[in-house]
């Protein structure tokens, strides 16, 4: 049994002339310890897929399971618990609270979590031990993204979902963030999925899934993922 499994997942928005098929018959699986990159152009269905995996949206058809649990069968309270306990999110624009310090941002996010690691430990894990008491406006873009990663991992999620996590960063800072994310997948306790339109990032993935018009057009295991330093940007 795979950790994450999607079988024939479709997502259809609207009716009649407003009907949009955002995802159609999507099937794939992923394991803990895997670093998965989902590639696709704008409109390919990447965000829709991430939202379904993260329990923010529900498939119109098909089945999605995590560790054997049928997420498609959960009601809204069940989805809330799933998101709270199992899923961490990292977004392109960090979404930090500007009036809270780095440590307070992390603490706030896991206030209701079932399990958690201390905020200081999470920030230290992403190389921010020297920035605990800084407000977001006094941090660089890369440092803010590290705070958002610390915030996501502090509640010990088994699934870490990243939507264009390097989209707002220069290449050196972006590589730095990717290396943090890859190390987090290597600890083996979680599956890290990144959606991006930047095909270069695929070179360092364990698995690369390509989406086009809501369909998977390829799903490949990368036999020799590159180190982040080696990839072209
Ligand atoms: P990507 O993230 O790859 O840019 P999206 O998942 O955002 O793609 O969108 C895929 C398709 O689904 C697009 O055609 C988009 O317009 C449509 N779509 C996404 N969300 C909605 C929604 N809530 N209502 C209607 N259409 C949507």
Task: Report the pLDDT averaged over residues 107-132.
Answer: 90
Q: What is the DSSP string of 30-93?
A: E-TT-EEEEE--TTSSHHHHHHHHTTSS--SEEEEEETTEEGGG--HHHHHHHHHHHEEEE-TT
- Kindly give the distance from the C-alpha atom of residue 168 to the centroid of ligand 1, in angstroms, as a whole number: 21
Going by C-beta distance under 8 Å and a sequence separation of 6 or more, which residues neighbour residue 127? 146, 180
pLDDT reported for residue 184? 87
Confidence of residue 228 (pLDDT cuts 50, 70, 90): confident
Number of Cβ atoms within 10 Å of the Cβ of 146: 26
Task: Report the pLDDT averaged over residues 17-40.
Answer: 96
From 9, 11, 13, mutation site for ligand 1 pocket: most ligand atoms within 8 A of C-beta: 13
pLDDT reported for residue 42? 92
- Kindly give the distance from the C-alpha atom of residue 211 to the centroid of ligand 1, in angstroms, as a whole number: 13
- What is the crossing angle of helices 141-153 and 171-186, to 10°? 20
Res. 233: pLDDT tops 80: no
* Ligand 1 lining (C-beta closer than 6 Å): 13-14, 20, 22, 40, 42-48
Looking at per-residue pLDDT, the higher value among 155 and 187 belongs to 155
Res. 104: pLDDT tops 80: yes
pLDDT reported for residue 86? 94
pLDDT reported for residue 115? 86
Q: What is the pTM of this model?
A: 0.93
Outline where DSSP puts E strands in 71-168.
87-90, 159-163
pLDDT tens-digit series, residues 54-87: 999 999 999 999 999 999 999 999 999 999 999 9
pLDDT tens-digit series, residues 27-36: 999 999 999 9
Residue 99 DSSP one-character state: T
Average pLDDT, the chain: 93
Task: Report the pLDDT averaged over residues 150-166.
Answer: 93
123 close to 131: Cβ distance less than 8 angstroms: yes
Rounded-to-integer distance, Cα 140 and Cα 161, Å: 22
Name the nearest CA neighbour of 63 among 75, 71, 51: 71
Looking at per-residue pLDDT, the higher value among 123 and 115 belongs to 123
Residue nearest to atom 20 of ligand 1 (CA): 48
Residue nearest to atom 5 of ligand 1 (CA): 45
């Amino acid at each position: 049994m795979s950790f994450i499994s999607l079988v024939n997942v479709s997502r259809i928005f609207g009716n009649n002339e407003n009907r949009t098929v955002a995802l159609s018959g999507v099937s794939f699986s992923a394991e803990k310890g895997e670093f998965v990159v989902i590639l696709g152009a704008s409109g390919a269905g990447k965000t829709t897929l991430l939202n379904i995996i993260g329990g923010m949206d529900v498939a119109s058809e098909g089945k999605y399971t995590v560790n054997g649990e049928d997420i498609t069968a959960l009601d809204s309270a069940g989805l809330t618990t799933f998101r709270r306990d199992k899923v961490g999110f990292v977004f392109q624009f960090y979404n930090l609270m500007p009036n809270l310090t780095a440590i307070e941002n992390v603490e706030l996010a896991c206030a209701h979590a079932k399990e958690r690691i201390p905020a200081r430990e999470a920030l230290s894990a992403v190389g921010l031990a020297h920035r605990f008491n800084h407000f977001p406006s006094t941090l660089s873009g890369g440092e803010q993204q590290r705070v958002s990663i610390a915030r996501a991992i502090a509640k010990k999620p088994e699934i870490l979902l990243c939507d264009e996590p390097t989209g707002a960063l220069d290449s050196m800072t972006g590589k730095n963030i990717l290396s943090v994310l890859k190390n987090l997948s290597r600890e083996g306790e979680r599956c890290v999925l990144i959606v991006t339109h930047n095909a270069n990032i695929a070179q360092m993935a364990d698995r690369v899934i390509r989406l086009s018009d809501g369909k998977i057009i390829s799903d490949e295991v990368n036999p020799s993922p590159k180190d982040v330093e080696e990839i072209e940007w």
